[in-house]
Amino acid sequence: MVSSSALAAVEPPPDGKAEATRARILDAAARALRARGYAGARLADIASEIGMKAGSLYYHFDSREALVEAVMARGLDYVHTTLERRLASLPADTPPPVRLEQAIETHLVGMLTQGDAASASIKLIWQVPPDVRARVLAGHRAYGALWKKLLRDARRAGAIRDDVDLSVVRMAILGALNWAVDWYRPERASPAAIARDISSMVLRGLEAE
């Protein structure tokens, strides 16, 4: 435990440097959390990886829990924001099934881009304290609402049968995409190719007769 006097002994770095340092801390913490889980990721190890002392982390994050929450939010926020921007960039008359295909590819690429943080956001959800979990889950629900609309629109367009539960479809799609963080190898296929395969399986399996 770092004493308050020890924390007060060092001046905070300038804003630009602070942002760069914060990003390095988040990257290191994401790697540690993905590899060792919530209980096993120690602040001392995270700090050591980037040449800092554990106490210095408190200039950027109020607590260990705040750092973990920031990592989890970072992964989810990146994917959510990227998908919103991608959908907004599509022409207004883009057919719903095409929008769904674009969402699948964008989510997959986002997960692979933010692999450690994105993985932490999903896998640590039942390891973190309840208050952290509640806030992170609120972000998951907001992102899930975006997918609910995509699937409802695809159903209205006749691309998804009426006899399937869209909640199950949503969880199945996101589960398959999220799992790619663990098995993806760039030498096997591009994210776009994998996304096309997943889209094809989903839409062909769910298409209305």
Full domain range(s) for residue 106:
72-206
Helices (H), the chain: 4-8, 15-40, 43-49, 64-89, 96-113, 115-123, 130-156, 166-183, 191-206
Per-residue confidence band for 42, with pLDDT thresholds at 50, 70 and 90? very high
Is 66 contained in some domain? Answer: no
Evaluate whether residue 113 is within a structural domain: yes
- How many distinct structural domains can be found in the chain? 2
* Residues 6+ away with beta carbon under 8 Å from 135: 69, 73
Tens of pLDDT, residues 145-201:
999 999 999 999 999 999 999 999 999 999 888 888 888 888 888 888 888 888 888
Residues 117 and 199 in one domain: yes
- 56 and 97 fall within a common domain: no
How far is residue 159's CA from residue 145's CA, in Å, rounded to a whole number? 19
Q: Residue 11 pLDDT > 60, yes or no?
A: no
**How many angstroms separate the Cα of 70 from the Cα of each of 22, 29, 38, 136?**
10, 10, 13, 9
CATH for 29: 1.10.10.60
- The verdict on 22 and 92 lying in the same domain is no
3-state secondary structure of 205: helix
CATH code (residue 183): 1.10.357.10
Q: Among the three residues 61, 92, 113, which one is the final residue of a domain in this structure? A: 61
On whether both 45 and 128 belong to a single domain, the answer is no
Q: Is the pLDDT of residue 102 over 90?
A: yes
Q: What is the CA radius of gyration of the chain?
A: 20
Which of 6-10, 14-18, 94-98 shows the lowest per-residue confidence on average (mean pLDDT)?
6-10
DSSP string across 53-65: -GGGGGGT-SSHH
Return d(Cα 100, Cα 122) in angstroms, integer. Answer: 21
Q: Are 105 and 192 in contact (CB under 8 A)?
A: yes
Contact 132, 69 (CB under 8 A): yes
Residues 154 and 190 in one domain: yes
What's this model's pTM, rounded to 2 decimal places? 0.81
- Average pLDDT of the chain to the nearest whole number: 86
For residue 174, what pLDDT is reported?
92
Q: DSSP state, 91?
A: -
Confidence of residue 126 (pLDDT cuts 50, 70, 90): very high
Q: Do both 85 and 178 map to the same domain? A: yes
Domain membership of residue 26 (yes or no) is yes
Q: State whether 96 and 168 are in the same domain.
A: yes
Q: Assess whether 91 and 189 both reside in one domain.
A: yes
3-class DSSP state of 19: helix
CB neighbour burial string for 103-131, b if at least 16 within 10 angstroms, e if fewer: bbbbbbbbbbebbbbbbbbbbbeebbeee
Q: Which of 2-16, 54-68, 81-95, 167-181 has the lowest mean pLDDT?
A: 2-16
